[in-house]
């Protein structure tokens, strides 16, 4: 039975976190929500309860298109990153000797040590017309003319995947090493093939790690501005890029806030879809 003193002590422990969340998430979110209902008259901000900024989403093709592009890129990046990260995490967890696993993980996250912007520009040079990829394929006779790789969606997805495979490898690895070897042994004793063991035992048990990493990938990717800007070459616009344009010259904070709220709505839907498998205690 908890006493009043213990309850007070409990509140004392969580109070800093609650205050922090209130001050730096709840309050800004309310301000942003209110801003999204304001309007801009010339350069004057008019506070009110107007849904004009949300109506513009339906009226302006480029806004709607930006949402679609953001979703397409984010879903592609998430799926490709999971497909690449799972085998990598598996190899580190089960094929690399225990004493080398820490070094393998260190190598896997090595690119994290480089600045995000620098890494994006490095990819731009790799994918350029006379970059490593094109020159290698030209020298091997695989292509006659350099391919257009930079300033494309392919470049944006590549830059993102390079970053997020590392993140997913960590979450999936953390999940895999928690699995008792007895699960696999039991499945094999019952006559399951290696594939059946993976399909019906290992994969379901590692879903929390996959979904947690995938959700983090989704959240970080859909809100990212740098990678599409540098690697995509503005050949198509994502929502964060449109938000930046609204703020850059005209300081249209109401429309930018409305777009940010829409992004939060999308992330909330993604959370609800993934909530069943989200297990942060597994990572």
Partner 1 sequence: MDMTKLTSTLLATTVLTCAAGAVTAQEQLNALVWCDHMDPALIAPFEAEHNVTVNLREYEGTGAALALLDQSRPGDWDVLVIDGIDVFRAVDAGILAPLDAAQLPTADFFPEVVMEGVNTVDGVTYAVTEKFGYNTISYNTANVDPADMESLSTVWSEKYDGRISIYDYYLPVMGLAAISQGIATADIGSDNLDAIGEVMGTMRSRAASVAGVVAAQTALATGEVDIVVGGGEWLTAVLAEEQPDLTWTIPSEGAVRWTQSIGVVEGTQKPDLALEFVKYIVSPEGQARLATSSCFWGMPANALAGDFLTDDQKAILRWDDQPDYLALSQLYPAPDDALDADMQDMWLDTLSQ
CB of 235 to partner 1, least distance (A): 6
> Which residue among 245, 267, 274, 278 contacts partner 1 (CB under 8 A)?
245
* Residues 139-168 close enough to bind partner 1 by CB under 8 A: 148, 150-151
Alpha helices in 177-202 (DSSP H): 181-189, 194-197
Site for partner 1 in 221-240 (CB under 8 A): 229-230, 233-237
Residues linked to residue 98 through DSSP beta bridges, in sequence order = none
**For partner 1, which residue of 93, 242, 243, 262 counts as binding (CB under 8 A)?**
242
Of 91-99, 119-127, 169-177, 190-198, the window that binds partner 1 (rule: CB under 8 A) is 119-127
**How far, in Å, CA of 246 to CA of 229, rounded?**
15
Cα(27)–Cα(31) distance, integer angstroms: 6
Residue 26: CB minimum distance to partner 1, A? 20
* Residue from 38, 92, 105, 128 in contact with partner 1 (CB under 8 A): 128
Stretch that binds partner 1, among 135-143, 167-175, 207-215, 246-254 (CB under 8 A): 246-254
Tell me if 118 contacts partner 1 by CB under 8 A. no
Angle between helices 239-248 and 253-274 (to 10 degrees): 160
Q: Give me the half-sphere count of Cα atoms (radius 13 Å) on the Cβ side of residue 267.
A: 17
Measure the CA–CA gap between 135 and 66, rounded to whole angstroms. Answer: 33
How far apart CA 30 and CA 20 sit, in angstroms, is 15
Closer Cβ to partner 1, 83 or 125, answer by number: 125
Choosing from 2, 3, 5, 43, the residue that interacts with partner 1 (CB under 8 A) is 43
254, containing H or E segment: helix 253-274
H or E, element range at 208: helix 203-222
Is-contact 227 8, C-beta < 8 A?
Answer: no
How many residues make contact with partner 1 (CB under 8 A)? 33
Which chain residues interact with partner 1 by CB under 8 A?
A: 42-43, 60-62, 65-66, 121, 124-125, 128-131, 148, 150-151, 229-230, 233-237, 242, 245, 247-253
């Amino acid at each position: 039975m908890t006493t009043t003193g213990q309850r007070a002590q409990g509140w004392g422990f969580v109070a800093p976190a609650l205050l922090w969340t209130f001050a730096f998430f709840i309050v800004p979110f309310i301000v942003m929500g209110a801003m999204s209902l304001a309007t801009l008259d010339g350069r004057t901000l008019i506070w009110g309860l107007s849904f004009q900024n949300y109506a513009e989403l339906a009226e302006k093709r480029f806004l709607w298109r930006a949402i679609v592009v953001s979703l397409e890129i984010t879903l592609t990046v998430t799926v490709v990153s999971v497909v690449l990260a799972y085998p990598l995490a598996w190899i580190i967890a089960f094929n690399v000797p225990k004493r080398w696993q820490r070094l393998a993980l260190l190598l896997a996250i090595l690119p994290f040590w480089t600045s995000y912007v620098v890494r994006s520009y490095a990819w731009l040079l790799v994918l350029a017309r006379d970059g490593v990829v094109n020159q290698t394929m030209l020298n091997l006779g695989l292509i006659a003319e350099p391919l257009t790789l930079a300033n494309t969606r392919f470049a944006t997805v590549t830059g993102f995947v390079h970053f997020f495979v590392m993140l997913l490898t960590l979450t999936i690895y953390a999940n895999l090493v928690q699995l008792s070897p007895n699960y696999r042994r039991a499945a094999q004793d019952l006559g399951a093939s290696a594939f059946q063991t993976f399909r019906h035992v290992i994969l379901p048990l590692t879903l929390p790690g996959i979904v947690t990493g995938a959700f983090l990938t989704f959240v970080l990717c859909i809100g990212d501005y740098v990678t599409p800007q540098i690697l995509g070459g503005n050949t198509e616009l994502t929502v964060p890029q449109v938000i930046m344009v609204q703020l850059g010259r005209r300081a249209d904070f109401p429309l930018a806030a409305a777009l940010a709220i829409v992004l939060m709505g999308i992330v909330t839907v993604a959370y609800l879809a993934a909530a069943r498998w989200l297990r942060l205690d597994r990572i």
